[in-house]
């Protein structure tokens, strides 16, 4: 199946804004499905994986699949690819529309913002939709992925007014709750709320897999283990890049988590059960906030 339609009809319906999506996996595919439900947008996509391009058409994630060069001519361009790929793409564009809005969907922000070429900084909006699952690929996409979730927009004062408005409009259409912060603060917070939980889940899975009788252990797995280990299904390549870009903040959160784990370890070793209970009561209070 050829992925490139010979003539790119992005002006087929002049009343619609043309949205381009680079990366047609869970994040980009879900975005495409949601935007195609609107009469305001025409959606085109690009993915360097030929299988993903074919699946995107088959699953109706986009109206049309185009080349990387053609996608530079859209009105609004989303980069829904791994964080290192976002930096590479931003520095690979050659003929972007002068007033294009470029929105990245990466899980880290500081390094991405720092890597945006100065000539397109006003065109760029740094966004992190706090949505996803442990699944990946075009078939993992679903149109309600973003509904009622948080999206963080970073360093918005450096983006153009048109770009700010278009990003807020499209995330509002997705029914997301918009938060604003600077990219440094974002990376510090997401180390705790997202990146550290993935490290813990990968570590838990590896700990069990290293046991001599792992199959017998896994036969007993129930809700608690499944919930804790679910994130270990996530893409290793994607999370390697995230850990690399947010290394310092992640190491800080791991060190403090290890201190907390060692505290539990010491109390249990010393059979200080009342103190163990108090530690757990303290943890319970988290869900009075969430």
Domain-embedded: residue 145: yes
Q: For residues 251 and 141, state if they share a domain.
A: no
Domain-embedded: residue 265: yes
Distance CA 290, CA 285 (A): 9
Give the predicted TM-score (pTM) of the model. 0.85
User: Residue 109's domain is classified under what CATH number?
Assistant: 3.40.50.720
Task: Identify any residues that bridge with 125 across adjacent strands, giving them in sequence order.
Answer: 103
Q: Which two tokens stand for residue 190?
A: 């997401």
Listed residues 123, 153, 181: the one ending a domain: 181
Listed residues 156, 181, 206: the one ending a domain: 181
What total number of domains does the chain contain?
A: 2
Q: For residues 136 and 196, state if they share a domain.
A: no
Q: For residues 46 and 141, state if they share a domain.
A: yes
Chain center to CA of 61:
18
Domain-embedded: residue 40: yes
Q: For residues 191 and 73, state if they share a domain.
A: no
Q: For residues 120 and 255, state if they share a domain.
A: no
Listed residues 181, 213, 231: the one ending a domain: 181
- 3-class secondary-structure state, position 17: strand
What is each CA distance from 283 to 7, 269, 279, in whole angstroms?
Answer: 58, 20, 6
Per-residue pLDDT of the chain (290 residues; tens, 9 = 90+): 344 443 445 455 457 899 999 999 999 999 999 999 998 999 999 999 999 999 999 999 999 999 999 999 999 999 999 999 999 999 999 999 999 999 999 999 999 999 999 999 999 999 999 988 878 899 999 999 999 999 999 999 999 999 999 999 999 999 999 999 999 999 999 999 999 999 999 999 899 888 878 777 776 766 778 888 889 988 898 899 999 999 999 999 999 999 999 999 999 999 999 999 999 999 999 888 77
Residue pair 125/152 in contact by the 8 Å Cβ criterion: no
pLDDT at residue 6 in the model: 38
Task: Identify any residues that bridge with 64 across adjacent strands, giving them in sequence order.
Answer: 44
Chain center to CA of 51:
21
Q: For residues 242 and 148, state if they share a domain.
A: no
Domain-embedded: residue 51: yes
Q: For residues 200 and 58, state if they share a domain.
A: no
Q: For residues 129 and 233, state if they share a domain.
A: no
Q: For residues 107 and 175, state if they share a domain.
A: yes
User: Residue 245's domain is classified under what CATH number?
Assistant: 1.10.3660.10
Q: Which two tokens stand for residue 98?
A: 């002068």
Question: pLDDT tens-digit profile of 182-235?
Answer: 999 999 999 999 999 999 999 998 998 888 787 777 767 667 788 888 899 888
pLDDT at residue 4 in the model: 47
Distance CA 101, CA 168 (A): 11
Q: For residues 276 and 214, state if they share a domain.
A: yes
Domain-embedded: residue 3: no
Domain-embedded: residue 131: yes
Q: For residues 52 and 21, state if they share a domain.
A: yes
Q: For residues 28 and 165, state if they share a domain.
A: yes
Print the domain residue range for 121.
Answer: 17-181
Dihedral of alpha carbons 245, 240, 231, 280, sign = negative
Distance CA 47, CA 53 (A): 6
Domain-embedded: residue 177: yes
Domain-embedded: residue 10: no
What is each CA distance from 86 to 24, 28, 173, 207, 214, in whole angstroms?
Answer: 14, 13, 24, 33, 38
Q: What does the radius of gyration of the chain's CA atoms come to, in whole angstroms?
A: 21
pLDDT at residue 106 in the model: 95
Block residue for tokens 């078939």? 139
């Amino acid at each position: 199946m050829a992925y490139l339609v010979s003539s790119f009809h992005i002006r087929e319906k002049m009343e619609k804004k043309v949205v381009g999506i680079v990366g047609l996996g869970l994040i980009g595919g879900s975005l495409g499905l949601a935007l195609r439900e609107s009469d305001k947008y025409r959606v085109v996509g690009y993915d360097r994986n030929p299988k993903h391009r074919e699946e995107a058409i088959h699953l109706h994630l986009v109206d049309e699949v185009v080349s990387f060069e053609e996608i530079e001519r859209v009105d609004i361009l989303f980069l829904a690819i791994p964080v290192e790929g976002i930096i590479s793409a931003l520095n690979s564009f050659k003929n972007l529309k002068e007033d294009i809005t470029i929105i990245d969907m990466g899980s880290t922000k500081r390094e991405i913002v720092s890597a945006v070429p100065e000539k397109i900084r006003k065109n760029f909006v740094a966004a992190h939709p706090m949505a996803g699952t442990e699944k990946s690929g075009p078939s993992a996409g679903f149109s309600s992925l973003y509904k009622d979730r948080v999206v963080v927009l970073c360093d918005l004062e450096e983006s153009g007014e048109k770009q700010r408005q278009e990003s807020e409009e499209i995330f509002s259409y997705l029914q997301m709750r918009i938060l604003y912060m600077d990219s440094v603060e974002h990376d510090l917070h997401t180390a705790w709320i997202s990146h550290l939980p993935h490290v813990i889940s990968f570590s838990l899975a590896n700990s069990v897999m290293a046991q001599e009788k792992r199959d017998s252990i896994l036969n007993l797995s129930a809700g608690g283990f499944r919930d804790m280990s679910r994130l270990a299904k996530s893409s290793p390549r994607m999370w390697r890049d995230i850990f690399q870009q947010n290394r310092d903040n992640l190491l800080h959160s791991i060190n403090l988590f290890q201190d907390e784990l060692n505290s539990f370890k010491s109390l249990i070793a010393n059979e200080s059960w009342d103190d163990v209970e108090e530690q757990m009561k303290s943890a319970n209070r988290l869900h009075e906030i969430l």
